[in-house]
Amino acid sequence: MPANLTPQYLEAERRFKSARTTEEKLESLVEMQATLPKHKGTEKMQADIRRRMAKLRNEQSRRPASRAGLIYRVDKEGAGQLALVGPPNSGKSALVRAVTHATPEVADYPFTTRQPQPGMMSFEDIQFQLVDLPPVHPEFHESWIYQIIRNADAVLLVVALDDPDLLEDLETTLGELDKAKVHLGHGTMPGVVGWLQKPTLLVGTKRDLGGAEDDLEILRELYGQRFDILALSAETGEGLELLSRAVFDLLDLVRVYTKAPSHKIEKTAPYVLRRGSHLLDLAALVHHDFLTQLKYARVWGHGKFEGQMVNRDYILGDKDVIELHR
């Protein structure tokens, strides 16, 4: 080893050896290159550094958008959080742009989306949070993507109806999720320990393009049991108006309004609960005192006569108006 190596070089070399990510290794190599004395005795070392850098850069370019070590999470807002999952270029970002105020970048090349991009979609008087994500793809392993999917309430599985490799791309996507122990839609999960099942709406985009109807037919035939399926176009707007209702149904929710005794009915912001929730679940949301002291309630709603008395195991209906009594 040449005797005249500087402390800076040795420090950079030490960091290179302990570096864990491609980025850290590259940074250390750049520094090693800069601090290595350049003379005949270090020629071999210079060549070695260049070779290692080329190899790492090559690795990096085959792993697009990788920024190892970065972790993203998205705090939930609204009545439900939906992760947009799908192959590259399927139209996830265009869909989020079309139905929310968010403006994720849309482009005709893959891997444009590199960070989660939340946006709110309205359904009547409630909102859902859509989270645009990078594609699910074998070459793009960022664990945070799968953490967001696992944490979401449901999934929009987005495929492009003009994709010539539609079925293959869809299976690849489902395969990647299998690796992350996430099962989308109905049907039995391959395993039990650590597996999660996510309510999933299969969204076929680019319905405006050629061949879409045939592909849609095939999707219905092959995946109709496993997913609810919706076809739309972010370009022409066709079918977009059906999305928020489909998400509401997917999440299986009810909206309940409360009113105080002797006040008139005012349908302001509803409480949102899972379908099948009982009156007592609502009481717990409204106030702890109601949870412990609830005697009965009156309900104005579908299939009830106005102000009908119900007890704590009454199953709430969508758009019920409830007056709690203790």
Contact between 205 and Mg ion by CB under 5 A: the answer reads: no
Find all residues with CB under 8 Å of 71, minimum gap 6, and list them: 144, 147
Q: Is 233 in the site for ligand GDP (CB under 6 A)?
A: yes
Told to check if 93 binds ligand GDP by CB under 6 A, we report: yes
Residue whose pair of structure tokens reads 């302001």 in the numeric block: 268
- The one among 9, 29, 92, 128 contacting ligand GDP by CB under 6 A: 92
Nearer to ligand GDP, 5 or 65 (CB): 65
Our finding on whether 25 is near ligand GDP (CB under 6 A) is: no
| Sequence-distant (≥ 6) Cβ neighbours of residue 131 within 8 angstroms | 74, 81, 82, 83, 84, 116, 117, 118, 148, 152
Q: Which is nearer to Mg ion, 78 or 86 (CB)?
A: 86
234 contributes a contact to ligand GDP by CB under 6 A: yes
Output 10 or 107, the one with its CB closest to ligand GDP: 107
Q: Does 106 interact with ligand GDP (rule: CB under 6 A)?
A: yes
Q: Which of residues 203-232 bind ligand GDP (CB under 6 A)?
A: 205-206, 208-209
Q: Is the dihedral of CA 29, 31, 33, 38 positive or negative?
A: negative
Instruction: Measure the CA–CA gap between 208 and 175, rounded to whole angstroms.
Output: 28
The one-letter amino acid at 56: L
Beta carbons within 8 Å of 322's beta carbon, 6+ residues apart = 256, 257, 258, 259, 279, 282, 297, 298, 299, 316
Integer Cα distance of 71 and 73 in angstroms: 7
Q: Which of 28, 81, 100, 113 binds Mg ion (CB under 5 A)?
A: 113
User: According to the binding rule CB under 6 A, does residue 117 interact with ligand GDP?
Assistant: no
Nearest to 16 by CA among 31, 2, 1, 5: 31
Tokens of 96: 């989020």
What residues numbered 207-246 form the site for Mg ion, per CB under 5 A?
A: none
Q: How far is the CB of 19 from Mg ion (least distance, A)?
A: 30
Region 70-99 residues binding Mg ion, contact defined as CB under 5 A: 92-93
**Where along the sequence are the contacts to ligand GDP (CB under 6 A)?**
86, 88-94, 106-108, 112-113, 135, 205-206, 208-209, 233-235
